[in-house]
Amino acid sequence: MSNSISIKAISELLGMNFFIPSYQRGYRWDKQQVEELLDDIYAFATKKDKTEEEFYCLQPVIVKKKEKEEWYEVIDGQQRLTTIFLIIHYINEIQKEKQEIEEITLRFETRDKSQEFLNGILVNENSNEVIINDDNIDNIDFFFISNAYNTIHNWNKSNNKLVSEDFVSKFICSSKVIWYEVSKDEDSIDIFTRINSGKIPLTNAELIKALFLNSSNFPDSNSESLRLKQLEIASEWDRIEYTLQDDSFWYFINKKGNNLATRIEFIFNLMYEVAKEDDKEVSVRRHLNIKSEEQIKERQKTHLTIEEKHGNDKYSTFRFFNEKFKTKKGNEITNNWQEIKKYFQTFEEWYNERELYHKVGYLITIGADIKDILKEKNGKSKTEFVAWLNNKIKKSVNVNINIDELEYGNGNIRKILLLHNIQTMLNNKNETNRFPFDRFKKEFWDVEHIHAIATEVKVKKEKQVDWLKNNFIKTENHKDENRDKQIEQIINLGNPIDEKEFDYIIDYVLGEEDNSLQNLCLLDRGTNRSYKNDSFKEKRRKIIKREMEGTFIPICTKNVFMKYYSEDVKDIEVWNEADRKSYFKKIQEVINQYLPQTTLAENEQ
């Protein structure tokens, strides 16, 4: 049966207790969604010339009454229902003396103490700030709920819209949901799947979660022990997801473009990819030389590959896991979950061990496939695994290159500069800082000249005076008296010259172009673009300023501009030949274990 029902009616009717089942998508409304709902209700509440019959519709809520219990299972609409609860709870909190709105009861099936958490969110009467139990904040659903409650609080903070008589009355009496109550005999998951087929599609992770947490999948298991196991998995699931939501962890094991709303899905997808690569049927067909379309079709009548069974579409990973739950026995939960945990624990081990973090992180950053690294890890001791990593890094640098001959634009330079930064941090045994792979991947770091080259520099006429003031330092390389006088006149008189003529000034100021490795470093794109026209002097000033403002500067880039590599610092504002040679020598020393020794010997002569 279905009908429209007001928020007030939902709250006040006997037995309006709701539980969110395990198969449901977790609470994920963000700041924008909460604010849009509040804005819409407020716009309706303050709308002029409303008729008595008008109401604001909050979309359907589909429920099923639980047998022998005063609870409704929420099949669809938990995001809205949870947000409605938070709004009501907040209004009551800031009007403690009134408590005029009855509150519905919400309970999450796989969240211990979810009722206590929801009811325990308070607003401090003295400070007018939200108080949340931080002990539960690592629960991913409670984390999002806390953010939603803070959004409600901040939305109301400026003008107390939520306590206005118009808002409260229109919200509880004239805001309605389409209430749809299904028969107790109908299958909840079947309904849930059908109604979501035309909406935001479920992710593989959400469908796989239903396999683990839906008790109907394991009818032969002891109910109490199964529930305890499900609660354990739900808790561990949250910890894995929460860890993967940390960008420093996520981008350590992922490429820049790989982003998932539910990040645990990365592990599921990876397990499916590994299974396809290890598929024995593929090996058998290769051994039997089965290649033609006719041969393959004949073979498929009795033997399918993993990919042929489960496909390669967006839900193939779910189908792969669904097959793992064939017998519907409790031990399947344990065995399948242990396999997932093993993957995560391997990543966690790499992340927490400093040498593995940097070496694995480097390889993934330059394009190595994490599946290959995982395969090599199996059966190896840590010493053997590190030796393999070192060899893999050495091959990545290219055994045939001579770094003395590399120039700007060569693809190996980025890898060498990245490796120089990473190995520099690793070589300091007393240092705890780690290379930030998340920032390297998200902030688009470039290979850039330490001292600008003239062909890249363009200076507009109105900027000529400032550019010369910031960039020209007379050195022994500036021996043209006429150019020196011309520069002096432009600066002192403030009279710019023709832009084409100024190109000769740029050439003279910056000197001979140097595209070699000794004049290159890593810079994030934002920093890079801000000083592409600048000489070493001005770049150095901006680097110092940015670091003081909190911008992360890679260790080797900072060392360059602080001249820590220079053996004899004559002029702190000039990047001279001696500085370049010292810098290049240091690069060789730091990454020498990965370079061809014949190349090293030639360069050291």
Stronger pLDDT, 78 or 526, i.e. the higher one: 78
Nearest to 461 by CA among 494, 510, 416: 494
Please write down the HEC assignment for all residues of 34-45.
Answer: HHHHHHHHHHHH
352 pLDDT above the threshold of 60 = yes
403 pLDDT above the threshold of 80 = yes
Per-residue CA distances from 532 to 441, 446, 458, 528, 575 (Å): 21, 11, 9, 6, 15
Q: Residue 562 has what pLDDT?
A: 92
Do residues 98 and 44 lie in contact, with contact meaning Cβ atoms separated by under 8 Å?
no
Q: What is the mean pLDDT of the chain?
A: 82
Length of the chain: 605
Q: Residue 14 has what pLDDT?
A: 41
- Hey, where are the domains in the chain? 2-200, 202-248+258-332, 399-604
312 pLDDT above the threshold of 80 = yes
Q: How far apart are CA 227 and CA 233, in angstroms?
A: 10
Q: How far apart are CA 594 and CA 412, in angstroms?
A: 13
602 pLDDT above the threshold of 60 = no
**Token output for 446:** 């470039």
Residue 27 CA, distance from chain mean position = 19
- Residue 389 identity (one-letter amino acid): L
Please report which confidence band the pLDDT of residue 360 belongs to, taking 50, 70 and 90 as the band edges.
very high
Integer-rounded Cα radius of gyration of the chain? 32
Q: Which pairing describes strands 56-65 and 105-108: parallel, antiparallel, or unpaired?
A: unpaired
- Residue 340 identity (one-letter amino acid): I
Across residues 281-287, what is the average pLDDT?
93
Tell me what percent of the residues of the chain surpass a pLDDT of 70: 85
Q: List, as one string, the DSSP characters of 542-589.
A: HHHHHHHTT----HHHHHHHTTTT-SS-S-TT---HHHHHHHHHHHHH
Q: Residue 269 has what pLDDT?
A: 95
Determine which of 177-181, 322-326, 368-372, 555-559 has the lowest per-residue pLDDT on average.
Answer: 177-181
Do residues 210 and 270 lie in contact, with contact meaning Cβ atoms separated by under 8 Å?
no
Stronger pLDDT, 543 or 16, i.e. the higher one: 543
* Count of alpha carbons within 13 angstroms of residue 296, beta-carbon side: 7
pLDDT one-digit tens code per residue, 7-56: 766 665 544 678 787 767 678 788 888 888 888 888 877 877 766 766 77
Q: How far apart are CA 408 and CA 425, in angstroms?
A: 24
Q: How far apart are CA 152 and CA 139, in angstroms?
A: 20
- Residue 198 identity (one-letter amino acid): G
Do residues 390 and 594 lie in contact, with contact meaning Cβ atoms separated by under 8 Å?
yes
Q: Residue 448 has what pLDDT?
A: 87
Please report which confidence band the pLDDT of residue 598 belongs to, taking 50, 70 and 90 as the band edges.
very low
Burial of 139-162, coded b for 16+ CB within 10 Å and e otherwise, reads bbbbbbbbebbbbbbebbeeeebb
Stronger pLDDT, 1 or 563, i.e. the higher one: 563
Q: Residue 605 has what pLDDT?
A: 46
Angle 140-157/223-244 helices, nearest 10 degrees?
60
Stronger pLDDT, 497 or 437, i.e. the higher one: 437
User: Whole-angstrom distance between the N-terminal and C-terminal Cα of the chain?
Assistant: 89
Please write down the HEC assignment for all residues of 189-258.
Answer: HHHHHHHHCCCCCCCHHHHHHHHHHCHHHCCCCCHHHHHHHHHHHHHHHHHHHHHHCCHHHHHHHCCCCC
Q: How far apart are CA 553 and CA 377, in angstroms?
A: 32
pLDDT one-digit tens code per residue, 104-135: 788 887 676 777 787 777 776 666 667 766 55
Q: Residue 479 has what pLDDT?
A: 78
Across residues 348-357, what is the average pLDDT?
96
Residue 524 CA, distance from chain mean position = 18
Residue 270 CA, distance from chain mean position = 17
Stronger pLDDT, 475 or 335, i.e. the higher one: 335
Q: How far apart are CA 252 and CA 353, in angstroms?
A: 13
Q: What burial class does residue 223 get, using C-beta atoms within 10 Å of its C-beta: 0-12 exposed, 13-18 middle, 19+ buried?
A: exposed
Q: Which position has the token pair 């001249």?
A: 563
Q: How far apart are CA 37 and CA 40, in angstroms?
A: 5
Q: How far apart are CA 489 and CA 496, in angstroms?
A: 9
Stated as kind and residue range, the H or E segment containing 428 is none
Q: Which pairing describes strands 72-76 and 105-108: parallel, antiparallel, or unpaired?
A: unpaired
Please report which confidence band the pLDDT of residue 165 belongs to, taking 50, 70 and 90 as the band edges.
confident
Q: What burial class does residue 41 get, using C-beta atoms within 10 Å of its C-beta: 0-12 exposed, 13-18 middle, 19+ buried?
A: buried
Q: Residue 513 has what pLDDT?
A: 84
Q: Residue 250 has what pLDDT?
A: 96
DSSP state of 314: T
Q: How far apart are CA 43 and CA 358, in angstroms?
A: 53
Q: Residue 464 has what pLDDT?
A: 84
Across residues 355-360, what is the average pLDDT?
96
Q: How far apart are CA 413 and CA 181, in angstroms?
A: 64
pLDDT one-digit tens code per residue, 192-251: 766 665 554 567 887 788 778 766 566 666 667 777 887 888 889 989 999 999 999 999
Residue 46 CA, distance from chain mean position = 40
Q: Please name the residues in contact with 498: beta carbons below 8 A apart, sequence gap of 6 or more.
A: 461
Stronger pLDDT, 8 or 412, i.e. the higher one: 412
Please report which confidence band the pLDDT of residue 99 belongs to, taking 50, 70 and 90 as the band edges.
low
Per-residue CA distances from 529 to 449, 463, 503, 539, 548 (Å): 12, 16, 20, 11, 19
Question: Three-state DSSP class for 261?
Answer: coil
